[in-house]
Chains A and B, each alone.
Chain A
């Protein structure tokens, strides 16, 4: 019996400038969703919640977390595209 082997998975994730653009477009989609979410949260919490102190905390924390995660994603994507 011959040796069992799996096909070599030879993916090229960077794919040059086209691939780079596609990654940034994918990232841009998340940025867009993040911005829409921040706006929706601001709208709902300022309009419907009477406790403005708590609303401010929710709006601030939400914007901060989204900014941190998107910032981290941008740094990691840039780093990935630099090495490919």
Chain B
């Protein structure tokens, strides 16, 4: 993303952290699950003890502790790689508002990256929508910029402070035109 001479970055808008926090929460649960397996097996043993006393599941006899630790290490590594991949996607996906245009950087994973821009005179309308419990409580929503160009609209979902950002874009457009 190269800026033109005299072009200044006024603001960078990324998706609301709720997006990534939700994923981190899911990954933490996945990280904890294998650690709970011995407890779950112990509970099953207690339950079936009254039915068939000769049946008993022994995780350590089946998979030695060292192997369990090794597999758990690899499991954590997998989750970490998923987190870093998602975080990179989250952080590098952004709207850059400059004094001349809006640059939309769409990062999808490691291998797809699209950069498009719209100049302020081309912007026809900026609309926002906030719908749902979490968007209302945490103040995030969708910002939609309609343009007169070939690319008809720019869309940023899960955008933080939609109203403030909308005003910011409108002010930048006004300043630019003036």
Known contacts A5-B55, A30-B74, A69-B74; 4 additional CB pairs below 8 A are: A9-B62, A34-B77, A41-B84, A45-B88
Q: Is A32 an interface residue (CB 8 A)?
A: no
Bound CA span A77–B68, Å: 9
Interface status of A17 (Cβ within 8 A of chain B): no
Q: A77-B70, A80-B70, A84-B64 are in contact. Are A44 and B77 (CB under 8 A)?
A: no
A80 touches B66 (CB 8 A): yes
Q: Are A49 and B92 in contact (CB under 8 A)?
A: yes
Do A73 and B70 form a contact, CB below 8 Å, given A44-B92, A66-B80? Answer: yes
Secondary structure type dominating chain A contacts: helix
Binding site for B on A (CB under 8 A): 3-6, 9, 11, 13, 27, 30, 33-34, 37, 40-41, 44-45, 48-49, 58, 62, 65-66, 69-70, 72-73, 76-77, 79-80, 83-84
B178 CB to nearest chain A CB (Å): 28
Bound-complex Cα distance A44 to B69 (A): 32
Would you call B110 and A69 a contact (CB within 8 A)?
A: no
Interface presence of B52 (CB below 8 A): yes
* Residues of chain B with a CB closer than 8 A to A69's CB: 73-74, 76-77, 80
Q: Which residues of B are in contact with A by a Cβ distance under 8 Å?
A: 1, 52, 54-55, 62-64, 66-67, 69-70, 73-74, 76-77, 80-81, 84-85, 87-88, 91-92, 105, 107, 110, 113
In the bound assembly, the distance between CA atoms of A11 and B18 in angstroms comes to: 45
Residues of A within 8 A of B73 (CB): 69-70, 72-73, 76
Give A79 to B68 CA distance when docked, in angstroms.
11
Inter-chain contact B54/A44, CB cutoff 8 Å: no
Instruction: Return B70 CB to nearest CB of chain A, in Å.
Output: 4
For the complex, what is the distance from the CA of A11 to the CA of B58, rounded to whole Å? 13
Minimum Cβ distance to chain A for residue B148 (Å): 29
Closest to A13 in B: B67
Q: Which residues of B contact A13 (CB under 8 A)?
A: 63-64, 67
Closest 6 CB pairs of A and B: A80-B66, A73-B73, A76-B70, A76-B69, A69-B77, A79-B66
